[in-house]
Structure 1
């Protein structure tokens, strides 16, 4: 989304902009209460230990103020000056390629207004600068770029005049339409292509165009079309791709409604959509049976094809609850600890898609799988260069008729079972397990997990309402326990049934 970029002027530059002498500037500051005062320009690290810099003025404030001041309006921002009475209707000047994307020109009483259909920062300044430096053969007086939001009268605009291309200011859509004399076209973000803008003509019906696929949808469609995967996996990838497509079409339709159909009072905005999304097959089927979708993603996670990796990376970011593993957890490699007991049972394996996504930007040294929970694990250098174990927490534990015997606190929660096994505590994908002072927060996630496992070691943990965990357990995990501290089943049950003492 664009913003008005700020630049600063020295006293001499302000005088040049306004066409006044030192005395004239002194007079303006006393004649006009709203004459801009010097502003502190952004700190420059190269200026430390140097004398205090000379005074600087915010260029946008000075330029905008001048436009609204009768004696200096001709020196101020063009689109903020008082408009001439009954300006002649403008004339469409056609499509233009610019350094910041597609634009349309409009010949008006004040000169050519170039509207750049881009909402990136400094788009107006960059285009106006390029025009000024190349001789401005088209007679462009001001360049407008999209601000990315709705303003009064239509889409908000950022303007930069070719006479002073380095100074940007906010302009209204209705400021431009007042000179053009008709509603102007606007393209929603996902249909803002050079081709569609180039093909537009005044009076033409809005083009109907297909929303282009983004990278996530492309990766999912590729996996869905890959016959190396089973049908269930391909259905899962298709379902998520369809959901992305539906969301993008809905977003574009709502964007058009917000920018083109609303006005202030009884006056509609003078803006028309240049293109509409193709909804002939909308909505595509999605949100299928979650059990089947989870089965499909489980199979993709175990695959080794690059398309499975790309699809799984999308799913981790969009719908991690469909995946067969919980939160990413990282612990140091430390012999003799409770985690060391767990790592001895890990089985070395070739990497799967799940391992590849788990690795992210690390450089794994070995890949493993926990044979009891099927969770992928890898050993890799940590941020400090020391080796760490990186793994997905399980969503549930194998019970086998056992119960939780104790919990050990070692960088995360470890569950010791009555039949002699040790496991990382289960956790949902978007939560984390911790204890101690949480800077005002409470360790309710850990308390909730333990509460559920005390009842059923094999429970699939649900942390949607972790704040409702027993207060006594939450208080216990809010204490500053040492690494390696063990909390027995008896201690956990006692804490669960004992309300914390009030201070």
Structure 2
């Protein structure tokens, strides 16, 4: 979406305005408001091969707008920026036209045919106008409009390009085009902007009531629901998230229609005809089921080896990771003599599950493992330098077994050693990460919050929603630039928690 920039050379400005070089010289002196030359767009190749950037260029939109508002040159300016004639005859709809960027509505107006393409992609107006001009323009199209993707003053914002100068895009006013057409213009909400609906529309038609189509994520989850390879709890979990996606899409469509179809300010009417409404006969679908059941269902999918489970877990990671049985994705180098090597000794090699496949994120895995104490999936892979690394999900909590935190080791993440001799990556929520050192003004309060909890309850589950309230002394200790492998004993951590940091 948006208006593409265009720049005109001196010769192109003369061609647009129908002037020779002397005429342009006179024009600049006659009109004080004529646009000034601007900086040319940077050309990284200009310094090679003796190429030179143009000495002067003009912003194409500024020149075209100036011409439209200047009576002497209005006939050469942007078509949809020219003042409307006082005795404007009503336009008429002349049907739809398929374009390379989707179906469009054509309106015959006093200025010629205006083509409206219901698409928000960039350069749609320019591309369609260029195609029309290159094809001989049998329909007499003078301007092509496309959706900007936002609301304007009196209707949806538009990007326009004239077939006479298709490379120059400008913002057009919806109400201006509606006045030329002589009626409210149809508008389809984003999720119902379907070609067959646009082709079927006619003036005066009631808004079509249409089922909001499923997106790819919903289709993936519905496929899981229809797959007998998964148990009932997994079916319930997938159904719940699929229903939530559907509800959101219907709500977004209703909101779009409310925003773009509402009346204008005061007595002014926004000339917008809502062309499609979402089918709400079964809305909203049931979701937000029992959390324990949903978590059990997602655990089943995480442990599955079915490709549909992999796709479903990928959806959940991006949409509601707190329902999944693992925390933040973490990667540390596999180095001899480090805390991570000691932890890795207890890992058990296994066949990959859906959780492993999503964890890999298209990285090449050398081997797959499971942590027998936390059930976290782990894989050995290569880092960006090609060296071996451990990639794993942090646990959501640690098995306590009556033990307590003995020390913390800082090695690419926060590691915990316990009084009964175990080593664990510190627990972390899916949406956060644990770090230490100077964060250029950002302090490691997440790690401080987790450590503060573990000092009191080794088996606790961290809540990082208000991590900025972590004990200031612990945060200050972790804000120091500790070397990789630094160990902070329980005593040191307790002392830091009780100590107020010195103010600088």
User: Which residue of structure 2 aligns with residue 218 of structure 1?
Assistant: 219
**CA offsets 1:446-470 (integer angstroms, 9 cap, x no match):** 1000000000000011111111000
Q: Is the 8 A contact 2:9 2:54 kept in 1?
A: no
User: Which residue of structure 2 aligns with residue 458 of structure 1?
Assistant: 459
**CA offsets 1:262-282 (integer angstroms, 9 cap, x no match):** 313211200011111000000
In the TM superposition, residue 24 of structure 1 has moved relative to its aligned partner by 2.1
User: Which residue of structure 2 aligns with residue 22 of structure 1?
Assistant: 21
Secondary structure in 1 aligned to 2:362? coil
CA distance in structure 1 between the aligned counterparts of 2:484 and 2:111, rounded to whole angstroms: 73
Secondary structure in 2 aligned to 1:93? strand
Q: In the alignment, is residue 303 of structure 1 matched against residue 304 of structure 2? A: yes
Q: Any unmatched runs of 5+ in structure 2?
A: none
Q: Is the 8 A contact 2:124 2:146 kept in 1?
A: yes
CA distance in structure 1 between the aligned counterparts of 2:36 and 2:223, rounded to whole angstroms: 59
User: Which residue of structure 1 aligns with residue 247 of structure 2?
Assistant: 246
In the TM superposition, residue 41 of structure 1 has moved relative to its aligned partner by 2.4
**TM-score normalized by structure 2?**
0.98
User: Which residue of structure 2 aligns with residue 108 of structure 1?
Assistant: 109
Secondary structure in 2 aligned to 1:159? strand
In the TM superposition, residue 51 of structure 1 has moved relative to its aligned partner by 4.1
Map 1:369-448 onto structure 2 (within 5 A). 369-448=370-449
Secondary structure in 1 aligned to 2:209? strand
User: Which residue of structure 2 aligns with residue 328 of structure 1?
Assistant: 329
User: Which residue of structure 2 aligns with residue 32 of structure 1?
Assistant: 31
**CA offsets 1:237-260 (integer angstroms, 9 cap, x no match):** 000000000000000000011001
User: Which residue of structure 1 aligns with residue 91 of structure 2?
Assistant: 90
Secondary structure in 1 aligned to 2:23? helix
Secondary structure in 2 aligned to 1:166? strand
In the TM superposition, residue 27 of structure 1 has moved relative to its aligned partner by 2.4
**TM-score normalized by structure 1?**
0.99
CA distance in structure 1 between the aligned counterparts of 2:204 and 2:35, rounded to whole angstroms: 44
In the TM superposition, residue 28 of structure 1 has moved relative to its aligned partner by 2.3
Q: Is the 8 A contact 2:34 2:66 kept in 1?
A: yes
In the TM superposition, residue 219 of structure 1 has moved relative to its aligned partner by 0.5
CA distance in structure 2 between the aligned counterparts of 1:181 and 1:373, rounded to whole angstroms: 69
CA distance in structure 1 between the aligned counterparts of 2:161 and 2:21, rounded to whole angstroms: 26
User: Which residue of structure 2 aligns with residue 60 of structure 1?
Assistant: 61
User: Which residue of structure 2 aligns with residue 169 of structure 1?
Assistant: 170
Q: In the alignment, is residue 318 of structure 1 matched against residue 319 of structure 2? A: yes
CA distance in structure 2 between the aligned counterparts of 1:24 and 1:15, rounded to whole angstroms: 8
**CA offsets 1:223-250 (integer angstroms, 9 cap, x no match):** 1111111101110000000000000000
User: Which residue of structure 1 aligns with residue 195 of structure 2?
Assistant: 194
Secondary structure in 2 aligned to 1:45? coil
CA RMSD of aligned residues (A): 0.9
CA distance in structure 2 between the aligned counterparts of 1:275 and 1:334, rounded to whole angstroms: 60
CA distance in structure 1 between the aligned counterparts of 2:257 and 2:183, rounded to whole angstroms: 18
